[in-house]
Amino acid sequence: MAAQKKYGKSFGKLNSFKTGFFENNDGMLRMADKMADILSSQPKRTVCKICESPLSAPFLKSHGLNYIKCEKCGHLNSEFEDTDDFADRVYVQDDYSRNYSEAEKEQYMSRRDLIYIPKAEFLRDCLEKEGLSAEDMNVLDIGAGCGYFVSSLHELKIAASGIEVSENEVNYGNSVMGDESLLCVGLTDSIRHIRETSANIVSAIGVLEHLVHLKENLCAIRENESISYLYASVPMFSFSCAFEASHQDCYNRHMGGTHTHLFTDESIAYMAESIGFEVAYEWRFGSDINDLYRFIMVELARTENNAFASYFSERFTPLMDELQLVLDKSGFSSELHFILKRRKR
């Protein structure tokens, strides 16, 4: 069955959540450079993160790191491996261990409504096409963070729980939601949790790319036959890579930092196949144009082109959604949401 496809999303209001990227380019760049240094001290990658084919010569270079495109599945791999040591050193815990003000709870809800409710609605709408109603759905969200996605599913009357390694995030999320939907589990336990869950859907929003032991997590999904669907979003090998590689003094949000490898349609299909699933639904919306816009604005500020920057911004921002939609439809944009479905035997 060919996957059902959906494209685009309005980014108008989302910009406000990412203003730090605009205002603090140099700070963000230093942070990414530090992570690149840590990655460079890891062993060289010899095989593709997804299909394990031997890797050959680098295909592109950005912000001090080489990237190798897998000849078999197209997956873009950094030349160094993401290891447990790398993960320990780059995933710094945010400080959620305080009392939470009403203003913060309001902020949580508005972030949830703007970013995560649409993701939950997409899942619900697709699975309704599969003949499942909301009460038939039971979701285990892995890498649940503060529970934005779990809370969104509850809002749609879908049963959901989440597992997360950060205790602070779990406490924060449970406190805002007023229940115990999130569970703090270590990395090894999380694999056991997937193997034993009775949920029929596993979700992983912006998570798969960060898993050092991705293969073990995928195996656990394959082996647990109550799981029929995997809903995920991942960063893609996309236009943003070229925008970043050609703007070395701008913060590399997409290819760098904790993103040590980027997916392609082929590598996602390979991953699905490897666990006996197929790609059933896709929703493609990237933020490549947002990245391009940011690089131009950062460079204009650096060259003291402030008046022209405001003029450019006024002309350009109304076009951004439409320009991004062109990139999304080309299939080479920075983010893909997809639902994998277990193949019938």
Cβ closest to Zn ion, residue 75 vs residue 337: 75
Q: Which of 45, 222 has the CB closer to Zn ion?
A: 45
Measured between alpha carbons, how far is 22 from 35 in angstroms, rounded to an integer?
A: 20
Q: 266-270 — which CB contacts under 8 Å span 24+ positions?
A: 266/73, 266/74, 266/75, 267/48, 267/50, 267/51, 267/70, 267/73, 267/74, 267/75, 268/234, 268/336, 268/338, 269/73, 270/50, 270/51, 270/72, 270/73, 270/75
* Nearer residue to Zn ion within complex by CB, 73 or 142: 73
The DSSP call for residue 321 is H
- 11 or 237, CB closer to Zn ion? 237
**Shortest Å, Cβ 213 to Zn ion:** 17
Instruction: Give the shortest CB-237-to-Zn ion separation in angstroms.
Output: 11
Site for Zn ion in 36-95 (CB under 5 A): 48, 50-51, 53, 70, 72-73, 75
CB of 267 to Zn ion, least distance (A): 6
Shortest distance, position 65 Cβ to Zn ion, whole Å: 18
C-beta of 73: minimal distance to Zn ion in Å?
3
Tokens of 179: 């229940």
Q: Least CB distance from residue 303 to Zn ion, whole Å?
A: 40
DSSP 20-35: HHHHTHHHHHHHHHHH
Measured from the CB atom, is 6 or 45 closer to Zn ion? 45
How far the first Cα of the chain sits from its last, in Å, is 14
Comparison of 70 and 298: residue with beta carbon closer to Zn ion: 70
Can you tell me the distance from the alpha carbon of 271 to that of 227, in angstroms, rounded to the nearest whole number?
A: 16
Upper half-sphere CA count for residue 246 (Cβ side, 13 Å): 9
Beta strand 65-69 with 4-7 is unpaired
> Which two tokens mark 199?
């949920």
Question: What Rg value do the Cα atoms of the chain yield, rounded?
Answer: 20
124 is an interface residue for Zn ion by CB under 5 A: no
**Which residues 186-245 are close enough to bind Zn ion by CB under 5 A?**
none
Q: At its nearest, how many Å lie between Zn ion and the CB of residue 327?
A: 24
- Window 247-306: residues binding Zn ion (CB under 5 A): none
Residue 240 or 264 with smaller CB distance to Zn ion: 264
CB of 22 to Zn ion, least distance (A): 35
Q: Which helix (H) or strand (E) holds 270?
A: helix 265-274
Applying CB under 5 A, the site for Zn ion has a residue count of 8
Other beta carbons less than 10 A from residue 90's beta carbon: 18
Closest listed residue to residue 181, CA positions, set 207, 214, 148, 132: 148
Residue with smaller CB distance to Zn ion, 48 or 184: 48
CA distance 283 to 179: 31
Give residues in contact with Zn ion (CB under 5 A).
48, 50-51, 53, 70, 72-73, 75
